[in-house]
Structure 1
Amino acid sequence: MDYRDLNRASPKDNFPLLHIDVLVDNTAQYAFCSFMDGFSGYNQIMMLIEDREKMMFITLWGTFCYKVMSFVLKNAGVTYQRAMVTLFHDMMYKEIEVYVDDMIAKSKTPEPHIEDLQKLFVRLHKYKLRLNPAKCTFVVKTGKLLGFVVNENGIEVDPDKVRAIKEMLVPKTESKVRRFLGQVNFIARFISQLMATCSPIFKLLWKTQKMEWDIECQEAFDNIKRYFENPPVLVPVAPGQPLILYLTVLEESMGCMLGQQDATGKKEQAIYYLSKKFTDCERWYSALERTCCALVWAAKRLRPYMIAHTTWLVAKNDPVKYIFEKPALTGRIARWQMALSEYDILYVSRKAIKGSALAEQLAYHPPGRLVTTRPRILRQAHHAKLGFDCTNNMAEYEACTMGLLMTLEYQVKRFKVFGDSALVIYQLRGEWEMRDAKLIPYHDHVREIVTAFDMVTFHHIPREENQMEDALTTLSVMVHE
């Protein structure tokens, strides 16, 4: 049946649907869950008698009308959600979660879980609501919810969606490119620096861009597939602990990771990844203004998390100080100030954060990132993913080791290493002693590699003077032949 005219004439019902990310977070890290699906969903809602005639349809056997709510009606989803909230409002966010016709019962132990299910079934029976047994699973430790896999460990990407991306052939038409980007965007929460990684593919959709699949597009396509060989496991926010927002701002895009330290305080866990491509106007902003713009956008997207928690901001520049201490406010600075005034955001240096902070954030822009340059020759950037937990100082040594080994391939004999990590540089120069036992093998390995050169010198530069890369670039290596 075609109800387009009826839907156009119907006023929009603005009853809010639950935020999917918040619902998934509320379900994760529970030991026992039961996943239920309503039978014929919307058809369980009866239509008002005076509205039934508006849904009449003609067949060979006569004229009929729906007595129940049809799936194609404009406000069917929010009407069902309102009904569920009305019936289960006292159980929601506690024993159960409800999203339209999907219901989830959750608990930490099995005994209260059975009691919660009994309470839920009594309520369903009272209001004559039915479940689809073929789509229900009871008392399980892991299950699929709205495109994600939730369990006691946290939130994982649906393996079926990962498989669909891995098995996808090279998209060489506009429709196939849109399909690929649509699949990737659905699970963008798990992808670090999505916009920067897929930038060549996004450009294929520009009206001024010719539809031509080149080497850069293929590399981006392969990088996304490779990323999902070991996708991250996200965790929900733990109450009472500050959040940590890592902000990376490039010339054309930004990326961030929202994380939180675990109970031990020694390891950080990722909660959410975000990335954004700057508009043509935003690209003309100064580096500090782009950081401010990125922070405002990230805070808006992450509002359900940041509004109730103190957030530590780790970035190259301090946008909070710039926005709130600038004496003369222009139009956009004033808007940014208003947008951020409701959040509790504190700027901290990267070294003030303990633990393996950046290992997860930098899947494609990790701490082990460096820049090699030659006099009068184009600068070369390199990066590598560290597939293990490590401290920031260990990552500094990894970057230095990678740069030295790569430089040997160019048969360079005289070499200068510039870095903004005072600890690593002065240890390699022999001016500071080694106190951390974990760093000794790294130090010895670097010194062993150095013997292959005629001369290698190590130079420390302050972080604010390190213009080679953004704040996440920890070592810049300059090559002199």
Structure 2
Amino acid sequence: MVKWAVELSQYGIEYRPHPAIKAHILADFLVEMAVTQEESSTPTWVVYVDGSSTFTGSGAGIVVESPYGDKFQYAVKFLFPATNNEAQYEAFIMGIKLALSVGAKRLTIHSNSQLIVSQINGNYEAKEDKMLEYLTQVNELLSRLDSYDVKQIPRVENESADRLAKLASSLTNIDNRKITFLTYDKEKTDGSDVTIFCADSEQPT
């Protein structure tokens, strides 16, 4: 080692031995790496929510996407009066509950409501008592997740949930019965057999 030090000194290069890594620094690094690997291995579910309030009633539209590409769509008719902001919060609550019910631990929630997203993210204050009650319930549900991200997106990017919410709010004379939506792929008058496709008819409880 002394020989190399003498040789290097001719070129103005000084050899400095690498100091030992302190044990607590190494321990902190290993803990950080373990947490990062655990988070990256936990799949993220994605939920799109929207609420709608019209003269015929109110409702919510919810789209749940699994990490494996499965998509579940819900149009929920409210049997109680709700303003547009209340409908938005109801959609949030149902969306989170649906995600929790399938075991989601990491969740990304999309909504086109700037007010509701800003209140949940702490950028806006919920001043009305009803809004504060909704916000408290949303935060309690979110606390059951390992991690989450609430994002505001343009309405055009939330089209599926928006369409479902408008469908639900426009339905009239609906009680607690489940409704099955059917679609035909061919006209009955063409003489061929008709195949009936049944859309998801599950309703969240």
TM-score normalised by structure 1 residue count: 0.23
1:268 aligned residue? none
5 Å-filtered alignment, 1:376-415, equals 376-415=68-107
2:136 aligned residue? 444
The verdict on how the C-alpha distance between 1:471 and 1:383 changes in structure 2, with shifts beyond 3 A counting, is closer
Deviations for 1:120-177, whole angstroms, at most 9, x for unmatched residues?
xxxxxxxxxxxxxxxxxxxxxxxxxxxxxxxxxxxxxxxxxxxxxxxxxxxxxxxxxx
Task: Provide the C-alpha distance between the structure 2 equivalents of 1:384 and 1:397, rounded to a whole number of angstroms.
Answer: 13
Task: Provide the C-alpha distance between the structure 1 equivalents of 2:128 and 2:116, rounded to a whole number of angstroms.
Answer: 11
The verdict on how the C-alpha distance between 1:369 and 1:445 changes in structure 2, with shifts beyond 3 A counting, is same
Maintained 8 Å contact 1:420/1:461: yes
Task: Provide the C-alpha distance between the structure 1 equivalents of 2:159 and 2:96, rounded to a whole number of angstroms.
Answer: 21
5 Å-filtered alignment, 1:178-189, equals none
Task: Provide the C-alpha distance between the structure 1 equivalents of 2:71 and 2:97, rounded to a whole number of angstroms.
Answer: 17
Pair 1:375 & 2:67 matched:
yes
1:17 aligned residue? none
Task: Provide the C-alpha distance between the structure 1 equivalents of 2:117 and 2:69, rounded to a whole number of angstroms.
Answer: 25
Maintained 8 Å contact 2:155/2:162: no
Task: Provide the C-alpha distance between the structure 2 equivalents of 1:372 and 1:357, rounded to a whole number of angstroms.
Answer: 21
Counterpart among 54, 58, 72 of residue 358 in structure 1:
54
Pair 1:431 & 2:127 matched:
no
Deviations for 1:250-299, whole angstroms, at most 9, x for unmatched residues?
xxxxxxxxxxxxxxxxxxxxxxxxxxxxxxxxxxxxxxxxxxxxxxxxxx
Shift of the alpha carbon at 1:361? Answer: 4.5
Task: Provide the C-alpha distance between the structure 2 equivalents of 1:384 and 1:411, rounded to a whole number of angstroms.
Answer: 21
Counterpart of 2:130 in 1: which secondary structure?
A: coil
2:155 aligned residue? 463
Shift of the alpha carbon at 1:393? Answer: 0.5
Maintained 8 Å contact 1:419/1:459: yes
5 Å-filtered alignment, 1:269-288, equals none
Moved over 6 A (4+): none
Q: How big is the alpha-carbon RMSD for the aligned residues of Structure 1 and Structure 2?
A: 2.3
Using CA pairs under 8 Å that are at least 6 residues apart, name the structure with larger relative contact order, 1 or 2. 2
Task: Provide the C-alpha distance between the structure 2 equivalents of 1:359 and 1:447, rounded to a whole number of angstroms.
Answer: 30
Task: Provide the C-alpha distance between the structure 1 equivalents of 2:161 and 2:103, rounded to a whole number of angstroms.
Answer: 25
Task: Provide the C-alpha distance between the structure 1 equivalents of 2:83 and 2:76, rounded to a whole number of angstroms.
Answer: 16
Task: Provide the C-alpha distance between the structure 1 equivalents of 2:74 and 2:115, rounded to a whole number of angstroms.
Answer: 22
Maintained 8 Å contact 1:371/1:382: yes
Counterpart of 1:384 in 2: which secondary structure?
A: strand
The verdict on how the C-alpha distance between 1:435 and 1:472 changes in structure 2, with shifts beyond 3 A counting, is farther
Counterpart of 1:466 in 2: which secondary structure?
A: helix
2:25 aligned residue? none
Task: Provide the C-alpha distance between the structure 2 equivalents of 1:473 and 1:452, rounded to a whole number of angstroms.
Answer: 26
Identity across aligned pairs (percent)?
30
Task: Provide the C-alpha distance between the structure 1 equivalents of 2:80 and 2:66, rounded to a whole number of angstroms.
Answer: 31
Q: Show structure 1 runs of 5+ residues with no match.
A: 1-355, 475-481
Task: Provide the C-alpha distance between the structure 2 equivalents of 1:396 and 1:469, rounded to a whole number of angstroms.
Answer: 11
Counterpart of 2:77 in 1: which secondary structure?
A: coil
Task: Provide the C-alpha distance between the structure 2 equivalents of 1:395 and 1:470, rounded to a whole number of angstroms.
Answer: 12
Maintained 8 Å contact 2:61/2:91: yes
Task: Provide the C-alpha distance between the structure 1 equivalents of 2:66 and 2:55, rounded to a whole number of angstroms.
Answer: 29
Counterpart of 1:382 in 2: which secondary structure?
A: strand
Shift of the alpha carbon at 1:369? Answer: 1.8
The verdict on how the C-alpha distance between 1:371 and 1:359 changes in structure 2, with shifts beyond 3 A counting, is farther
Maintained 8 Å contact 2:63/2:73: yes
2:114 aligned residue? 422
Q: Show structure 2 runs of 5+ residues with no match.
A: 1-51, 167-205
Pair 1:454 & 2:149 matched:
no
Task: Provide the C-alpha distance between the structure 1 equivalents of 2:53 and 2:159, rounded to a whole number of angstroms.
Answer: 22
